[in-house]
Amino acid sequence: MTNMSRARVARRIAAGAAFGGGGIGLMGAAAVGLVLAEVRLARRQVGNGSPDHVPHAEGRYGGLYSTPGEPPLTLALLGDSTAAGQGVHRAQQTPGALLASGLAAVAERPVELRNVALPGARSDDLDRQVALVLADPARVPDICVVMVGANDVTHRMPATQSVRHLSAAVRRLRTAGAEVVVGTCPDLGTIEPVQQPLRWLARRASRQLAAAQTIGVVEQGGRTVSLGDLLGPEFAANPRELFGPDHYHPSAEGYATAAMAVLPTVCAALGLWPAEEERPDTFRREGFLPVAKAAAEAASEAGTEVTAAMPTGPRGPWALLKRRRRRRVTADGTGEPTPVLP
């Protein structure tokens, strides 16, 4: 599917989500009939070997940066097993811990991490998760990171319904005063046990949903980062290193790759990134685009950020598409992973 076609589909899904439509599914009924055998085979193979226990990573990171009288930044993670960190054994290997320690290093302030993500969750669980995050009006997080969508695809949730739930969650968080960054639906076509034609259908559905998610999130004042190709070329080239033992959830190295793609956008949302990095770089093919076109391009390239730019234009809202430089991860003296800055 071309980016132009993906942009049209994403606009239709986002419009359906906004105006109450629900008939656009992620996989058509006829296609489902063709791949039932593949689904059964993949289900038998995917999930074996993944730890049932998700490491508890909540707490304070970057304690070395504590300053008397200055409160820590607060970071909340919402979403599914990817946000929770399923598939690794140590708290420091989860995306929440990676993002919290990286943010602390950039901000030179401690970061308090809260994670309400639930393995197996779909977008319709975000209402419950947001309620947990906003239960105390005096403790609204500075920034929330949401990773969701994979289970919507595998459970064939209508895309309009999926985007509607995500958009509502972003709207509630933004209204409460939190910045929001959404890691969009990963490319499920790269999972090792999945064979053709299910692989092609999974990739198509994943990217369609990621593009539609981007439109919904940006229209509510959030930012998105494409996770699609992080489970594409890099994972396909190094499946033993970047996938965990169940061949479905990322390994520690895989989570680090995803977290370092999201970290620059988290920092930018909090005003912690250098001002010169906020201007579009034509050499990196960055610029202002209609939001649907920006969403379609982002769905095809990992680590691509989309954020609102202008409220309206001849083809609807416009967005800024950025391809931020990723940061490597090393261990500091406390054993916490931190980004290497240029």
Residue 124's pLDDT is: 95
- From 101, 206, 226, 249, active-site residue: 249
Structure-token pair, residue 234: 């890099």
The torsion angles phi and psi of 204, rounded to 5 degrees, stand at: -60, -45
Structure-token pair, residue 314: 């001849």
Please say if 81 is a catalytic residue.
yes
Residue 199's pLDDT is: 67
| Angle, alpha carbons 300-309-137 (nearest 5°) | 100
Please say if 56 is a catalytic residue.
no
- From 246, 247, 251, 300, active-site residue: 246
Structure-token pair, residue 260: 């370092």
- Cβ–Cβ < 8 Å for 327, 341: yes
Residue 1's pLDDT is: 54
DSSP characters over 205-270: HHHHHHHHHHHHHHHTT-EEE--GGGGTHHHHHSHHHHB-TTSSSB-HHHHHHHHHHHHHHHHHHT
Please say if 249 is a catalytic residue.
yes
- Cβ–Cβ < 8 Å for 266, 143: yes
- From 81, 101, 251, 300, active-site residue: 81
- Considering the four listed CATH numbers 3.40.50.720, 1.10.1280.10, 1.10.10.60, 3.40.50.1110, the one that applies to the domain covering 3-273 is 3.40.50.1110
Matching residue, tokens 């629900």:
22
Q: Give the ranges where the chain is alpha helix by DSSP (H).
A: 3-19, 29-45, 81-84, 95-107, 126-133, 150-154, 159-176, 198-219, 233-237, 239-242, 252-269, 291-299
List the chain pLDDT tens, one digit each, 342 residues: 555 565 665 566 555 554 444 444 445 544 544 444 454 454 455 444 444 578 899 999 998 998 888 899 999 999 998 899 887 888 998 999 999 999 999 999 999 999 999 988 999 999 999 999 999 999 999 999 999 998 888 788 888 999 999 999 999 999 999 999 999 998 776 665 555 666 677 778 888 899 999 999 999 999 999 987 564 444 455 444 333 344 456 677 778 888 989 999 999 999 998 777 778 788 888 888 888 888 888 888 878 999 988 765 555 678 999 987 665 544 443 444 444 443
Structure-token pair, residue 189: 């076509």
